[in-house]
Amino acid sequence: MTVWIALLRAVNLGARNKVPMAYLRDRLAEAGIPGARTHLQSGNVILRSDRESGLVIGSVTGSEIGSLIREVLRADFGLDEPVMVRSHDRLREILAANPFAEAAAERPTLMRVIFLAEHPSPERVKRLEEHDDVRVQDREVYIDYRTGVHGNPLNAAMVARRLALHGTERNWATVSKLAELAETV
């Protein structure tokens, strides 16, 4: 059995891109992903893939799960946004690899991780990491916002432009909670 965490991009942003989580869970079940759980309204889905769970598509990859969820979002909510998927094991690795562990302990809502859709090019990573508060590891970008997120020129939109990749950002408290919830799926 593999536990997956799907991170939806650009959902429930104020009045835009409304995706009620209960309805999403129902639609995912109809699409072959029964038992999916959600956390908060920002588009965090936790599920497992194996034959025992009743997942119609059997044992699948994160990419296949992301595509299936993206299709549900497109068909039911009119959203065409990438879905970043990580295994529970990978999420634990991300937590352990945090280069700003002290910041995460002191300021868990100001310590952020951007989950990228793809691997960034080394040249783009090098330029981005000229900022002291940014580190890229694999398909994740760690950012320590130190004093605040709003109005900070170093932000998820800037990172996406610099890396030329889609991603979605979660604060450290949410990432930690998702790992905890994934233990019980």
Residues 105-160 pLDDT 10s: 999 999 999 999 999 999 999 999 999 999 999 999 999 999 899 888 888 889 99
Q: For 45-63, what is each residue's pLDDT tens digit?
A: 999 876 444 444 455 677 7
Q: Which of 137, 133, 142, 131 is CA-nearest to residue 172? A: 142
- Helix, strand, or coil here: 122? helix
* Amino acid (1-letter code) at residue 173: A
Alpha carbon 5 to its chain centroid, in Å, reads 7
Confidence (pLDDT) at 12: 59
Say how far apart CA 97 and CA 79 lie, in whole Å. Answer: 32
Residue type, 34: P
Q: What is the mean pLDDT of the chain?
A: 88
Rg, Å, the chain Cα set = 16
Q: Are strands 44-49 and 37-39 parallel, antiparallel or unpaired?
A: antiparallel
Residue-wise pLDDT tens digits, 63-92: 788 888 999 999 998 888 889 999 999 999
Does residue 25 register a pLDDT over 50?
A: yes
Q: Which helix or strand (DSSP H or E) is residue 178 part of?
A: helix 172-182
The CATH class for the domain spanning 2-88 reads alpha beta
> Phi and psi of 111, rounded to 5°?
-90, 125
Indicate the pTM of the whole model: 0.89
Q: Give me the residue spans of the domains in the chain.
A: 2-88, 92-182
For residues 93 and 82, the answer to whether their CB atoms sit within 8 Å is no
Positive or negative: CA dihedral 3, 94, 79, 120: negative
